[in-house]
Amino acid sequence: MSSLQKTFYIETFGCQMNFHDSEKVVGTLISEGYAQVQREEDADLIFYNTCSIRDKAEQKVFHRLADVKKLQKEGKRFAVLGCVAQQEGEKIFERAPYVSMVAGSASYHNLPAMLVQIEAGATRVTGLDDRETDQTFETEFTARTNPHRGYITIIEGCDKFCAYCVVPYTRGKERSRTSQSVVDEAKRMTDAGYTDIQLLGQNVNSYRDPAGKKSFAELLTAVGELPGIRRVRFTTSHPRDFTKDIIDAIDAVPALCDHVHLPVQSGSSRVLQSMFREYTREQYLERIAWMKAIRNKEISITTDVIVGFPGETEAEFGETLSLLDEVGYDGVFSFKYSPRPNTPSLQYIDSVAEGEKSRRLQGLQEHQRELQRASYSRHLGQTLEVMVEGKNGARGQIIGRTSQNKTLNFVTHDQRQPGIGDYVQVEVTQVFPNSLLGKMVG
């Protein structure tokens, strides 16, 4: 590396969308002549790609900025990207005056121009959006960190405005890429050896091809039929826009994974209405019934739940527990309600006390753990295909992932050890509430 070359460090908080945005930001920076380094100390430019989904997530970046404040003396420049950047905007300069750039995700297509300003010595560069932009962030070069499994963004932003959620304010309005550009990118990835592709968006089900050629289900099918592809996943879905043709596609196309993440948030239709989710418990369960009715695969279903939403009664919380029983999820991500800036539910009285939220969260997690303890036993004795992800040296096990997105670690007595990215058959010999253990066969 030439000593004249500018260096950068980047750290990512939050969801898969943020993780993948960072891969594109890194690609853009490398294309602009910067070199990535692994420690803040070695960097000229330090980027934090931030999350503001809950208060705890948001506080992380401010703690991080306080930790590295001392580095400003060495002439380093700091940039805050992502959801906290968009949400807090120029207030970040007040709170941390050593930050030189604040940019939300809807402005990343302007990154090269913002870098020029930084290089010219500007100290308050902003890329903030008022839900105006129609542009998506496409890069010549995306610095993907995994050579086998990768993401593709198909839709950015969100127009749903759920009462509790910051995303419509932090990621701008909904805008889709053309199906042609998505399929072209997927093709370039499979040509480069990728076998597992995950299509990303805040709400992939509201995908609308600007060229009018393909529905979301048709796009899934097109990616799933590319030569060389083994696994196609997508996240995240919204029950309101989740149509039956998606399930039919999963049933028909072998490479479309037998896993759907369908966030429910609450099992009570009254709470759902107050969250502006635009579906009832019954409508949600209808979508689950579609998944259970398909012929060729057993679809694994996972979800997100918020406990302690304003006004949630004990009985309504009980409806969420009974929904877990009814659906039989393979995984539940659960959170305590956290009031967020700008959102409609900020006007509601945050009526469930903190201690009660904790009690409900713990109760829900224990309940789900017991359900999974029982339901994962269905895999005992099954032979499942896994993609090899790495080795767990300490235990002498190999780490694998099933098409249902479950961790299946395994041992092999074979001389030849499978490599990362290989697909092998594994017989399940032991089950835990969150993972499986097995031995390689065949």
- Residues near ligand 5AD (CB under 6 A) are 53-54, 164-165, 263, 265, 304, 306, 335, 337-338, 340
H-run or E-run covering 23: helix 16-31
CA distances from 5 to 48, 100, 115, 139, 262 (A): 21, 20, 14, 21, 45
- The residues, any chain, with a CB within 8 Å of residue 435's CB and separated by 6 or more, are 406, 407, 408, 409
Stretch that binds ligand SF4, among 45-53, 133-141, 225-233, 360-368 (CB under 6 A): 45-53
Q: How far is CA 199 from the centre of its chain?
A: 10
| Residue 166 within binding range of ligand SF4, rule CB under 6 A | yes
Q: Which tokens is 409 given?
A: 């670690």
Choose the one of ligand SF4, ligand 5AD, none that binds residue 14, judging by a C-beta under 5 to 8 angstroms depending on kind: ligand SF4
Judged by CB under 6 A, which of 45, 46, 53, 275 binds ligand SF4? 53
Stretch that binds ligand SF4, among 69-77, 162-170, 232-240, 353-361 (CB under 6 A): 162-170
Strand partners, 50: 82
H-run or E-run covering 437: strand 436-441
For the bound state, the minimum distance from the C-beta of residue 321 to ligand 5AD, rounded and expressed in Å, comes to 16
Residue showing tokens 């891969």: 23
Contact 25, 10 (CB under 8 A): yes
Residue showing tokens 């997690």: 365
For the bound state, the minimum distance from the C-beta of residue 341 to ligand 5AD, rounded and expressed in Å, comes to 10
Q: Which tokens is 274 given?
A: 């107050």
Measured from the CB atom, the residue of 245 and 304 that comes closer to ligand 5AD is: 304
| Residue 83 within binding range of ligand SF4, rule CB under 6 A | yes
Measured from the CB atom, the residue of 276 and 335 that comes closer to ligand 5AD is: 335
Residues of this chain, 250-269, that bind ligand SF4 according to CB under 6 A = none
Contact 23, 17 (CB under 8 A): no
For the bound state, the minimum distance from the C-beta of residue 233 to ligand SF4, rounded and expressed in Å, comes to 17
Choose the one of ligand SF4, ligand 5AD, none that binds residue 9, judging by a C-beta under 5 to 8 angstroms depending on kind: none
CA distances from 208 to 42, 103, 383, 433 (A): 43, 26, 38, 38
CA distance 402 to 424: 10
Stretch that binds ligand SF4, among 166-174, 187-195, 205-213, 433-441 (CB under 6 A): 166-174
| Residue 167 within binding range of ligand SF4, rule CB under 6 A | yes
Backbone angles phi, psi at 119, to 5 degrees: -65, -30
Choose the one of ligand 5AD, ligand SF4, none that binds residue 304, judging by a C-beta under 5 to 8 angstroms depending on kind: ligand 5AD
Measured from the CB atom, the residue of 81 and 253 that comes closer to ligand SF4 is: 81
Choose the one of ligand 5AD, ligand SF4, none that binds residue 399, judging by a C-beta under 5 to 8 angstroms depending on kind: none
For the bound state, the minimum distance from the C-beta of residue 163 to ligand 5AD, rounded and expressed in Å, comes to 9
CA distance 303 to 329: 7
Between the two ends of the chain, the Cα-to-Cα distance in Å is 46
For the bound state, the minimum distance from the C-beta of residue 166 to ligand 5AD, rounded and expressed in Å, comes to 7
Local structure of residue 407 (DSSP, 8 states): B
CA distances from 293 to 244, 297, 298, 404, 412 (A): 11, 9, 9, 17, 36
CA distance 215 to 155: 12
Choose the one of ligand 5AD, ligand SF4, none that binds residue 306, judging by a C-beta under 5 to 8 angstroms depending on kind: ligand 5AD
Q: Which tokens is 430 given?
A: 């032991």
Measured from the CB atom, the residue of 167 and 246 that comes closer to ligand SF4 is: 167
Judged by CB under 6 A, which of 8, 9, 10, 14 binds ligand SF4? 14
Measured from the CB atom, the residue of 168 and 418 that comes closer to ligand SF4 is: 168
Backbone angles phi, psi at 277, to 5 degrees: -85, -15
Choose the one of ligand SF4, ligand 5AD, none that binds residue 350, judging by a C-beta under 5 to 8 angstroms depending on kind: none
| Residue 15 within binding range of ligand SF4, rule CB under 6 A | yes
Measured from the CB atom, the residue of 104 and 438 that comes closer to ligand SF4 is: 104
Strand partners, 302: 261, 331
CA distances from 350 to 304, 326, 365, 400 (A): 20, 29, 22, 42
Judged by CB under 6 A, which of 28, 52, 179, 195 binds ligand SF4? 52
Contact 305, 321 (CB under 8 A): no
| Residue 170 within binding range of ligand SF4, rule CB under 6 A | yes
| Residue 51 within binding range of ligand SF4, rule CB under 6 A | yes
For the bound state, the minimum distance from the C-beta of residue 223 to ligand SF4, rounded and expressed in Å, comes to 22
Measured from the CB atom, the residue of 62 and 98 that comes closer to ligand 5AD is: 62
Q: Which residues make up the interface to ligand SF4 (CB under 6 A)? A: 14-15, 17-18, 51-53, 82-83, 166-167, 170-171
